[in-house]
Amino acid sequence: MMRKKAYVIQFGGLKVGSHSFEMEVNDEFFEDLDYSEITKADVKAEIEVLKQNNVLTLHFHLTGTVETICDRCGIESSLPIDITEKLVVKHGDVKESTEDIVVLPHGENEVDVSHFLYEFITIAVPPKRIPCEEDDAIECDYDALAKLDSIGTEEEREDSSEDINPIWKDLKKLKFKEN
């Protein structure tokens, strides 16, 4: 992930106490990400940074929408996002970093939150996306569904192919053990 200045929080000059930051996560944010399922988004990130002497606590609140594609028919739809996450940042040995605690090398005075924003948004998108089942205002693309039905499954295509070379016909009788 490319480091972008807009998603870096400079905490070196901040006084002890609470500080607020706002960031926009949009299409441009996802352009540099080669393998992201998300390409379009309009998410507002409000980050409350609580600075203590040796520890920073970041409270993320992300709201907005992410464009997703229906797993069934392929239509695009907007998925609302409303996420609250917490992250602790401290100085020390980088090998000590965990999922919820980020350890920066001594002398580091900034933290790049772009990776965390990406993670939080990606995790908020459900693995199975069928918006027409969840929202009555969204209709499935029935033309696409009809085309998919006409193609059929691999098993249906195999069963329909009666003109199998007799050499290969006996191979279909073989049964393999499942591991």
- Tens-digit pLDDT profile for residues 35-65: 888 889 999 999 999 999 889 999 999 999 9
The rounded distance, in Å, linking the Cα atoms of 121 and 38 is 9
Query: Model confidence at 116, in pLDDT bands (50, 70, 90)?
Result: very high
pLDDT in tens, 67-102: 988 777 777 888 899 999 999 999 887 777 778 888
CB count within 10 Å of CB 45 equals: 22
User: Is the same domain home to 77 and 151?
Assistant: no
Q: pLDDT: is 2 or 17 the higher one? A: 17
Residue 35 pLDDT = 80
Residue 169: give the domain boundaries: 142-173
**127 shares a domain with 102:** yes
Q: Model-level pTM?
A: 0.74
What pLDDT is attached to residue 78?
86
Least Cα distance to 1 among 22, 21, 31 occurs for 31
In angstroms, the CA 13 to CA 123 distance is: 32
Q: Tell whether 72 is covered by a domain.
A: yes
Asked if residue 122 and residue 155 are part of one domain, the reply reads no
Residue 33 lies in a domain: yes
pLDDT(124) > 60:
yes
Residue-wise pLDDT tens digits, 145-177: 677 667 766 666 565 555 667 777 777 777 666
178 domain residue, yes or no:
no
User: Could you give the number of structural domains in the chain?
Assistant: 2
Residue 167: inside a domain: yes
- Whether 129 has a pLDDT exceeding 90, the answer reads no
b vs e for 125-152, b when ≥16 Cβ sit within 10 Å of the residue's Cβ? Answer: eeeebbbbeeeeeeebeeeeeeeeeeee
Total Cβ atoms within 10 A of residue 43: 22
